[in-house]
């Protein structure tokens, strides 16, 4: 079953804001339930009682950022909007790598039309497909309720990343589509400084002038939904991913404003039913904590275009060894 590229791009735009709304939810949980966690020594660093007391204790490791050491990787998946004859795949894909010791957060965008082998879909007798359809096919064979199917599909997706690129996400957040436009409007629009003029008329998305401006929800949706109109031309995939990241940066700045914080409880009520995750409350609190740290550096990454080859039907064929090397040097390090 196919998914139209316009559906993918519009749904991906929705996910960009919903993914940020997940972070908003994390911030709300922190602010409504307790202050950010006070740095404490991790349990593993606590000395066990010795059979014979000694006069001096072994030095303990100092607590890291938000009381944590090491790193964690979170897979963010956004469903596409289903149409009557089309699949509901993962239209937007982000990997978030949090390094507590280096105080860095890396956000990596993966193109939905990247071709992958799928041993995790052996139950569906599918040997290979594009990333966006890995999620869809897993939904078809997943057990239980809709939310249980979403969790199953996210785990299959994570296993596929490991099978192809050796990248193992520690947790997942899977997000249903919807409420995109209303969320931006509830924030009073999005203040954004566009680096250049963008013509979206070929994809019926309007035109955008360079410079600072405030876009309403529909305007933001149209901006990050712009795609190549030529039937024989590959989509401007990397330009689209960059526009998504521009929106993420603008939202990051807007969420820091005091007037925005007052609107967070309403956004929590709006989004909490649309998110499925395997993260527990304590893990959410830690992630929320580091997102609020003033010294944390947030970096947005994309797979370089020279890491793939354009195949038939604009499918992106991976240069697997080079992608693995890129992930190990630019994302995981």
Domains in the chain (CATH in brackets) are: 5-37+67-331 (3.40.630.190)
Q: Average pLDDT in the 108-132 region?
A: 92
How far is the C-alpha of 147 from the C-alpha of 157, rounded, in Å? 15
**Confidence band, pLDDT 50/70/90 cuts, at residue 330:** very high
**Confidence band, pLDDT 50/70/90 cuts, at residue 179:** low
How far is the C-alpha of 118 from the C-alpha of 155, rounded, in Å? 13
Closest CA to 69 of 37, 98, 35: 98
**Confidence band, pLDDT 50/70/90 cuts, at residue 296:** confident
Query: What pLDDT does 168 receive?
Result: 93
Contact between 190 and 251 (Cβ < 8 Å): yes
Q: Average pLDDT in the 162-190 region?
A: 83
194-208 pLDDT, tens digit per residue, is: 888 888 776 677 888
Query: Is the pLDDT confidence value at 225 over 80?
Result: no
Query: Is the pLDDT confidence value at 21 over 60?
Result: no
**Confidence band, pLDDT 50/70/90 cuts, at residue 237:** low
Query: Is the pLDDT confidence value at 127 over 90?
Result: yes
Query: What pLDDT does 80 receive?
Result: 65
Q: What is the DSSP letter of 114?
A: B
């Amino acid at each position: 079953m196919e998914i139209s590229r316009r559906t993918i791009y519009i749904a991906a735009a929705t996910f960009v804001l919903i993914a940020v709304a997940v972070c908003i939810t994390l911030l709300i949980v922190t602010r409504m339930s307790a202050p950010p966690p006070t740095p404490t020594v991790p349990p593993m660093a606590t000395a066990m009682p010795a059979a014979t007391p000694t006069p001096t204790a072994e030095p303990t490791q100092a607590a890291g950022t938000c009381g944590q050491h090491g790193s964690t990787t979170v897979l963010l998946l956004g469903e596409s909007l289903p149409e009557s004859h089309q699949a509901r795949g993962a239209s937007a894909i982000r990997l978030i790598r949090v390094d507590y010791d280096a105080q860095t957060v890396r956000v990596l965008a993966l193109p939905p039309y990247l071709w992958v082998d799928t041993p995790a879909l052996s139950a569906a007798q599918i040997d290979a497909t594009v990333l966006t359809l890995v999620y869809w096919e897993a939904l078809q064979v997943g057990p239980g309720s809709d939310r249980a199917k979403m969790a199953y599909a996210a785990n299959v997706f994570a296993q596929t990343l490991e099978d192809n690129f050796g990248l193992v996400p520690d947790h997942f957040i899977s997000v249903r589509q919807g409420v995109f436009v209303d969320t931006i409007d509830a924030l009073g629009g999005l203040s954004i400084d566009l680096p250049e003029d963008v013509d979206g008329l070929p994809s019926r998305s309007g035109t955008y002038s360079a410079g600072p401006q405030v876009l309403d929800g529909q305007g933001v949706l149209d901006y990050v939904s712009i795609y190549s109109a030529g039937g024989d031309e590959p989509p401007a995939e990397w330009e689209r991913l960059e526009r998504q990241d521009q929106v993420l940066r603008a939202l990051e700045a807007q969420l820091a404003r005091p007037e925005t914080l007052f609107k967070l409880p309403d956004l929590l009520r709006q989004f909490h039913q649309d998110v499925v995750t395997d993260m527990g409350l304590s893990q959410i609190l830690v992630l929320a904590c580091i997102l609020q740290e003033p010294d944390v550096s947030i970096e947005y990454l994309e797979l370089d275009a020279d890491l793939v080859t354009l195949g038939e039907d604009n499918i992106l064929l991976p240069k697997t060894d080079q992608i693995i090397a890129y992930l190990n040097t630019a994302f995981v390090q």
